[in-house]
Amino acid sequence: MSATAESVQDRKAALKGLGTSRKRVEDARFTQGKGNYVDDIKLPGMLFGDFVRSQHAHARVKSIDTSKAMELPGVVAVLTAADLEPLNLHWMPTLAGDKQMVLADGKVLFQGQEVAFVVAEDRYIAADAVDLVKVDYEELPVLVDPFKAELSDAPILREDIKDETEGAHGARRHPNHIFTWEQGDQAATEAIMKEAPVVAEEMVYYHRTHPCPMETCGSVASMDKVNGKLTLWGTFQAPHVVRTVASLLSGIAEHNIRVVSPDIGGGFGNKVGVYPGYVCSIVASIVTGVPVKWVEDRMENLSATAFARDYHMNGKIAATEDGKILGLWCHTTADHGAFDACADPTKYPAGFMNICTGSYDIPTAYLAVDGIYTNKAPGGVAYRCSFRVTEAAYFIERMIEVLAIKLNMDAAELRAKNFIRKEQFPYQSALGWEYDSGDYHTAWNKALEAVDYKGLRAEQAQQVNDFKAGKTRKLMGIGLCHFTEIVGAGPVKNCDILGMGMFDSCEIRIHPTGSALARLGTISQGQGHATTFAQILATEIGISADEITIEEGDTDTAPYGLGTYGSRSTPVAGAATAMAGRKIRAKAQMIAAYLLEVHDNDIEWEVDRFVVKGAPERFKTMKEIAFASYNQAIPGVEPGLEAVSYYDPPNMTYPFGAYICVMDIDVDTGVSDVRKFYALDDCGTRINPMIIEGQVHGGLTEALAIAMGQEIAYDELGNVKTGTLMDFFIPTSWETPNYQTDFTETPSPHHPIGAKGVGESPNVGGVPAFSNAINDAFRAFGLTHTNMPHDHWRVWKTANDLGLHG
């Protein structure tokens, strides 16, 4: 028996299925520079597009003179809004129900806005021609502060909709107001805020930043006028949705449009939306009849394509004197820039901000979000998070700290006292979500023990004494965070984008010799789908992951899906993969039973084969079954072995984690060093521990960047102050600390394999941990809250304001 048991283990290991730290199959090409990105696509006769962009944040466009540019040899066309208007493509719908100018239509509303599109024989000529287009502007007053948007002297930005009192998300109270979104019980929550023994209040600002993927956005459009077919390669996190949108916008039938996402060099939410460059490359290809490429540069990416965050979150949190939380109130002023181009599910104009009760059992809560137009770039995308979950997690994890200060209580203890308990799951939150599963106390205690939390607090207290005694100029901060994510959008009954339900899909073909091809509706941007989806399938169908090819991103071949963002690939497409695999196995069972001459119910699945119950020597492997399915006539069973599954998730998944950051801060220079960072993640079933660790390291490093310096800053005239990587902080290995990773495993009860998604957790949880460490360092000196980013001068200013510089 032991020999058999060992062989089962060997066979299981050979599959490289769930739980295996399988090396990423993608990396062979990426590490050798053999990837195939949009800018690698070169087609015969291809032209290049480049934008004339506005240098003003708000101005009327009085005239555009393209004649000088057209005279430059090699320039083929210069498109303006006037050229797009007959096609009704001078404006385009946004994913958030607003519309956005493709090219400036009478005015510009942010610095870097697209004004004209130059098409030339090469990108160098195009760049020269951009300088030759003369645009005559009349400058208008600029609005950069959303809190001034509704003052009587505020300029009206969106003249196109200034008289519309109803927007895509209900009533608008002012021309610069986009929507008000309310969740929870306002009256009950406000009553608690009046009556509760303890109420802590804080304005928490999550600054404007940017996903800044290594590859910027771009597209290549090729209109074949002979067969009427448009092919569009682009940096798309949701290629199928792009196809549908392109069809609706252009009037080209959907079967005549092929959208391809080739290798994508990072997305982080930046590549979910539709950008003017995509539209202009399509129009230019239709006009010229040859392929047209558009690829933005880094400055264009930072200043014009989708930003993230910019949420001013005003909060109140009420508790009993011994720290039991009674209620949470939040009013958020959301700066959306010039157009509402958030990429949220239609019914959620502030995304899943209503997960802001976090990991805590808060009986009563109220959330209101006001979306505001300003003279800044549009966006508001989910930068490595599920729709505004980073904002929500940052808000609650700061409010818990602020409450702990008010209560004069240890912040770790306050958290533990209020966690949703294990036995409360599934848990209905006050703001409308049903948390599927969790075991927060176990994770939290493990984290506190791992870092010797009590020892750290003792050391910190000693250091405060030493500081006060003039023995040191350094302070120590302990940043705590227990976050709960909400990912895997989402159930079709309440989640859609432009009407498309947010299901996802997988189609599997088993080849006669027993290897397989699986295609999904998602698209990897670095997540390693070709590695991990093959592992899910390997465990389901008993074929080694090495013999399964994963394909995504070509709408002509892949099944329809809503794409990859919001940590949805594993929860949704991963589930579809498992379900399609189970269909394969169900058919394989019929074939195996026929081959073994027994009844279907007399055989059982064992790793990679069906075995006759009680007769382990009689079996058929999946490979044998696959071959038989193609070469034998099996009564009542169709030839071949294929399956397709479209998966509509019954609920979201709720990954969580416990992060602790220890930071040393030089009070005089404002320089801070991360001494320790411990990250415990619970993402349910772990598919590939190595990829999880890589995701956590990457996400934490982005969180470090955001918390410690990364921002898109504007001056009062609406000029972008941080338009290059000199000023926009991207950490190098030098700035990146060591991370200590850990895990607990609480499978999702409703997901076929119990997986919850992990890619975005470290960004969601990391930002509060870093920020709380900075804030915590100054707690002993009377600080309750200081805003991110915690770069040197702001940390210095915090210390200075507290009188720590003498």
The catalytic residues are 237, 384-385, 760
Q: How far is the CB of 620 from another protein (least distance, A)?
A: 57
CA–CA dist 492, 499 (Å, integer): 10
Residue 455's φ and ψ, nearest 5 degrees, are: -60, -40
Question: Does residue 141 have a cis peptide bond before it, meaning omega lies within 30 degrees of 0?
Answer: no
Q: How far is the CB of 295 from another protein (least distance, A)?
A: 11
CA–CA dist 403, 421 (Å, integer): 20
Angle between helices 239-250 and 276-288 (to 10 degrees): 60
Q: How far is the CB of 783 from another protein (least distance, A)?
A: 18
| Structure-derived torsion over alpha carbons of residues 706, 707, 712, 714, reported in degrees to the nearest 10 | 180
* Residue whose CB is less far from another protein, 638 or 716: 716
Beta bridge pairs of residue 370 = 180, 333
Q: How far is the CB of 314 from another protein (least distance, A)?
A: 26
Q: How far is the CB of 791 from another protein (least distance, A)?
A: 6
- Nearest CA among 630, 632, 544 for reference residue 594: 632
CA–CA dist 566, 572 (Å, integer): 11
CA–CA dist 297, 602 (Å, integer): 63
Identity of the amino acid at 499 = G
CA–CA dist 555, 258 (Å, integer): 6
Around 503, how many Cα atoms within 13 Å sit in the side-chain half-sphere? 14
Question: Does residue 789 have a cis peptide bond before it, meaning omega lies within 30 degrees of 0?
Answer: yes
CA–CA dist 589, 611 (Å, integer): 10
* Residue whose CB is less far from another protein, 147 or 793: 793
Q: How far is the CB of 766 from another protein (least distance, A)?
A: 18
Tokens found for residue 80: 């303006």
Count of beta carbons in the 10 Å neighbourhood of residue 229 = 16
Q: How far is the CB of 730 from another protein (least distance, A)?
A: 8
* Residue whose CB is less far from another protein, 299 or 590: 299
* Residue whose CB is less far from another protein, 506 or 667: 667
* Residue whose CB is less far from another protein, 321 or 673: 673
SS (H, E, C) 577-602: HHHHHHHHHHHHHHHHHHHHCCCHHH
* Residue whose CB is less far from another protein, 131 or 195: 131
SS3 229: strand
* Residue whose CB is less far from another protein, 628 or 708: 708
Strands (E) in 608-719, as ranges, are: 609-612, 615-621, 642-647, 656-666, 672-682
Count of beta carbons in the 10 Å neighbourhood of residue 517 = 15
Q: CA angle at residue 376 from 374 to 378, to 5 degrees?
A: 95
Q: Which residues bind another protein (CB under 8 A)?
A: 123-124, 127-128, 131, 297-299, 668-671, 709, 713, 721-722, 726-727, 729, 731-732, 734-735, 791-794, 796-797, 800, 805
Q: How far is the CB of 130 from another protein (least distance, A)?
A: 9
Helices (H), 144-297: 186-195, 239-250, 276-288
Count of beta carbons in the 10 Å neighbourhood of residue 281 = 29
* Residue whose CB is less far from another protein, 456 or 671: 671
